[in-house]
Structure 1
Amino acid sequence: MTDVDSNIADCDGLEICYLTAGDPENPPVVLLHGGGLDSAGLSWKHTIEPLADRFRVIAPDLPGYGRSDSPDAPVSMEYYVSVLGRFLDTVAIDTTALVGISMGGGVALGFTLDHLDRVSKLVLVDSYGLGGKVPGGSLGYLFTRLGLTGLVFALLRRSRSATAFSLRSVTAGKPDEELVSEAFAELRRHGGTAWEALQQSEVTPAGLRTNYVGKLPDLEVQTLLVHGERDPVVPVSWAVRAGSLIPDAVVRIMPNCGHMPPREKPDQFEALVQSFL
């Protein structure tokens, strides 16, 4: 069994906790978790060890998540993209493969578009940034502006059953008890404040502020798009469209899967990523 170590990177005073495994001499792969109730350990629990057989795997907790510091600047997608650059510099990684899920996919995509020379391959998993429509339309916008996200997270922090219901709403089947327990622990640790701040930044009356669709034809990096067929959060059509716009892209739709392929279908997901990398 491969050892997974926990470390801290001091990024100009911002402490980023990260998991790492594999031979330091192997090609690096950086895994970026999603938003809301996520963390590196939650999304990538079943992915790190298998990849570590052939790669140096690094999975950071972004600011406001897991055991990392709270954000040291106003939260936005640009902020998280810049933090990724700071982190890679601190851990002395010049060029790497990036794998990002949901919000982490948006961060990986934004960083790649800004630094094509630093990304060897890109994997986008049910990724943010592939469209501009706000989930729920105008009601979704009002929900964010009225501060209801914070109220929802306050409820989730107090109720394991509510956390289970929340997970059930984004997955294709009943979440296992292990996943529910881990998500509940994460909520009680960080409270969702970073996610609420990002939503305040991203959700506008005109749609989502970060939409990379117009830049996808410039993405000159081999890209794999993995998407749950039954994802209720990010439309599968966005991944298909992105695959037609990115010059060198492969799209893989996972049947009977929702928004969390690495946890819902870990073996199938790991096989897809391993083969691509």
Structure 2
Amino acid sequence: MSTTETVLLIVLAGLVVLILGNIAFQVAAERKNPPIGAFIECDGVRLHYIERGDAAAPCVVLFHGNGTMIQDLVLSGLVDRLAHYYRVVCFDRPGFGYSNRPRTRIWTATTQAILFAKALDQLEVRNPVVLGHSWGTLVAIALALRSDYAVSGLVLASGYYFPTFRMDFWLMSGPALPLLGDLMRYTISPIISWAIMPTLIRTLFAPRAVPPDFKNEFPISLSLRPKQLRAAAEESAFLIPVAAQLPLQYQGIRCPVRIVHGKGDRLIEPDQSRRLHETLPRSVLDLVEDAGHMVTYADTPGIADAVAALVLTAPTRPELGGEASA
């Protein structure tokens, strides 16, 4: 056997070991962290969700950001706080947590909004206040723009609404590439992600420390599974194109909007929220002192108050596509 053949054999064996190891890691992660909610089949997609609070109360729908899952919003305290007064529905968005992400679709914010409009209809959720964090703000906006589903109000936290030059998002999109990305996700991507995860988490929560509940209870191993890394990489790749498309439609948002952003956000600049507030004159902007990207943890009471304000101003008999009172 030549030297070249020996090297190739060693490389191949190494890849096989990494692939089998990552498959085993995924199985172990799911056994350690089983689903915490229920499932609904909608439009060929199996969605994982939780429902809390009084089923007869006004409904609040929560969408998490890129790379996370339901547990993020639970650990922030938002789910429990809101469930004292409202019916709360929180989804794992496609590809995250335990929700599927079929490869037959391009999962833009609009595609996800189409899916969630159908899922919420199945769950008999009518005229909810929708809260989105980070990438979830784009899904919330896309849902509010739909003519076939009425939303009473939007609470948008730490969102990215206008395209800018962001090389970091493109660099994070490698695992989304066909074939090469698949190989990366089952070999080196989980290892690289595990290595950078502590720094990334500190950046997300800065300038505050990472909360003990998140540090001890968030299922990081689920976020490192190859299938979730694909979803996260795709959303990194889609972020700027989606943000380039939606501004043309922002004036079509006809429900009240509350915008929240941490002044110390090191991932998405607060100017994104300032610009959206200027574009939507009827919106209310709250820039939170000493808070970063995870403003949902830094100002949980304030965000819950923003939801409450929108529930109180919602029309008593809203019509599809109708304009809610400000």
TM > 0.5 fold call = yes
Shorter-chain TM band: 0.7 to 0.9
Consecutive unaligned residues in structure 2, runs of 5 or more: 1-35, 312-326
> 1:17 offset after TM fit, Å?
0.9
Matches of residues 254-273 of structure 1 in structure 2 within 5 Å? 254-273=288-307
Q: Is the 8 A contact 2:172 2:233 kept in 1?
A: no
- The reply to whether residue 164 of structure 1 matches residue 198 of structure 2 is yes
Matches of residues 76-115 of structure 1 in structure 2 within 5 Å? 76-115=108-147
Which of 159, 167, 173 is 1:127 aligned to?
A: 159
Taking structure 1 as reference, are residues 232 and 152 closer, same or farther at Cα in structure 2, changes over 3 Å only? farther
What one-letter code is carried by the residue in structure 1 that aligns with 2:236? Q
Q: Is the 8 A contact 2:143 2:149 kept in 1?
A: no
Scaled by the length of structure 2, what TM-score is found?
0.72
Choose 259-268 or 23-32, whichever is displaced more.
259-268
- Corresponding residue for 1:42? 72
- Corresponding residue for 2:190? 154
Scaled by the length of structure 1, what TM-score is found?
0.83
What one-letter code is carried by the residue in structure 2 that aligns with 1:11? C
- The reply to whether residue 178 of structure 1 matches residue 208 of structure 2 is no
What one-letter code is carried by the residue in structure 2 that aligns with 1:264? A
Q: Deviations over 1:129-181 (max 9, x none)?
A: x1111324xx654664696996885235544xx32211112222231343234
> 1:210 offset after TM fit, Å?
4.0
Q: Distance in 2 between matches of 1:239 and 1:197?
A: 23
Q: Distance in 2 between matches of 1:143 and 1:156?
A: 11
Taking structure 1 as reference, are residues 170 and 158 closer, same or farther at Cα in structure 2, changes over 3 Å only? closer
> 1:249 offset after TM fit, Å?
0.7
Q: Is the 8 A contact 1:39 1:186 kept in 2?
A: no
Q: Deviations over 1:23-52 (max 9, x none)?
A: 11111110000012x112213431111111
Q: Distance in 1 between matches of 2:232 and 2:171?
A: 16
Taking structure 1 as reference, are residues 216 and 201 closer, same or farther at Cα in structure 2, changes over 3 Å only? closer
Choose 141-150 or 191-200, whichever is displaced more.
141-150
Consecutive unaligned residues in structure 1, runs of 5 or more: none
Which of 28, 53, 64 is 2:95 aligned to?
A: 64
Secondary structure (helix, strand or coil) at the match of 2:205 reads coil
- Corresponding residue for 1:7? 38
Taking structure 1 as reference, are residues 257 and 41 closer, same or farther at Cα in structure 2, changes over 3 Å only? same
Q: Distance in 2 between matches of 1:122 and 1:185?
A: 31
Secondary structure (helix, strand or coil) at the match of 1:17 reads strand
Q: Distance in 1 between matches of 2:140 and 2:190?
A: 29
> 1:242 offset after TM fit, Å?
1.1
- The reply to whether residue 74 of structure 1 matches residue 106 of structure 2 is yes
Q: Is the 8 A contact 2:129 2:153 kept in 1?
A: yes
Rg larger in 1 or in 2? 2
| Number of residue pairs matched by the alignment | 264
Percent identity, aligned pairs only, is 20
> 1:65 offset after TM fit, Å?
0.6
- The reply to whether residue 187 of structure 1 matches residue 220 of structure 2 is no
